[in-house]
Amino acid sequence: MFEMASISDTRHRLPKGVVIPACPLALTESRRLDERRQRALFRYYIAAGAGGLAVGVHTTQFAIRDPKVGLFRPVLEIAAEESKCRSKGEVVLVGGICGQTRQAVSEAETLRELGYDAGLVSLGALRTATEDELVMHCRELGRVIPLFGFYLQPAVGGRHLPVTFWRRLAELPELVAVKIAPFNRYQTIDVIRAVTEAGRDDVAFYTGNDDHIVLDLLTPFCFVRNGKTVRRHIVGGLLGHWAIWTRKAVALHARCRKLVTGGLPVPLRMMALANAVTDANAAIFDAANGYAGCIPGIHEVLRRQGLMAGNWCLNPNETLSAGQAAEIDRVTSAYPMLRDDDFVEAHLDEWLK
């Protein structure tokens, strides 16, 4: 149906650094796919300047894979259609891959068939697997589609992945990027050090650390390899946080990249902005309650902008936490420079057609 980019094409685009929203699922009040608003979301992200779309990931809700729900393929197809139509295929399409190896390979084959550029590999279902088994799992997936590695924090279903795993993963030629999201500085450094020491300068690093987005993008990571210092940077982000206020996220990412690539000093105002982004994320992602309201929080911001009809999730018990709406009120008021309400208002009718 769609033409998949080659590994070389994907490697050419991802190291430049792009904004990749982890895309939400638009539902009606009866918790069925709201295709009109789902398309509007993808149109919004592309119009906002996002360089990629991540679909079928945690923010899209893992329950789309439930046969009773049956939305895994339909949502992936809509994203691929909108990307081809609106961006002429220039947007990097990343699809989530979950489950044990048999399921994961099947999902990878679906992504390849639909023209996706890479698969974001969640290892949450292999929590008891050995390191050898994890590497073998990834090797099987790499035979189907380029790999976007993923370090997911244990608090939301991930597992500890040691330096040795990342070194071995870096030995797979199909690895094109890594989303680093352990919400942990030690483990973030582990990933970058392991891949760098393995000599894989072609693997792009993307932040998923919602508590450290701006500083991740600005920080140099320096390691000694063969007696020489090698400097690496996190070049972009694959983030649920960038599924909201995306136009401003694209501008923020560009500012960070300009400072880094130009070797410029980081002004103090960027440090203040980093804290503003983290504070806003804490409210929207419901950090105070162990991220229980993370997905409804994203939906709520999009609902207020008119992009979603409601903050409904597939699981009716997945709702905003007590006090979360007030916290979203607070950060929305406190940080107007993070919001893109005017941009959305100007184009919403067009996206909803």
Phi, then psi, of 34 in degrees rounded to 5: -95, 85
C-alpha to C-alpha distance for 157 and 123, rounded to whole angstroms: 9
* Burial class of residue 125 (count of CB atoms within 10 Å of its CB; 0-12, 13-18, 19+): middle
> What residues pair up with 178 in beta bridges, in sequence order?
149, 205
List, in order, residues 6 or more apart from 44 with CB less than 8 Å away: 246, 307, 344, 347, 351
Q: Is the pLDDT of residue 2 over 60?
A: no
Q: State both tokens at 237.
A: 């982000």
Contact of 69 with 48, CB cutoff 8 Å: no
Instruction: Tell me the whole-structure pTM to 2 decimals.
Output: 0.96
C-alpha to C-alpha distance for 37 and 111, rounded to whole angstroms: 22
**pLDDT, tens digit (0-9, with 9 covering 90-100), for 255-312:** 999 999 999 999 999 999 999 999 999 999 999 999 999 999 999 999 999 999 999 9
Helices (H), 183-245: 185-197, 213-218
C-alpha to C-alpha distance for 89 and 85, rounded to whole angstroms: 8
Q: What structural domains and CATH numbers belong to the chain?
A: 7-264 (3.20.20.70)
| Residue whose tokens read 């509007």 | 40
What is the pLDDT confidence band of residue 6, given thresholds at 50, 70 and 90? low
Write out the H or E segment, with its range, that includes residue 106: helix 101-113
Q: State both tokens at 172.
A: 């797979």
**pLDDT, tens digit (0-9, with 9 covering 90-100), for 328-345:** 999 999 999 999 999 999
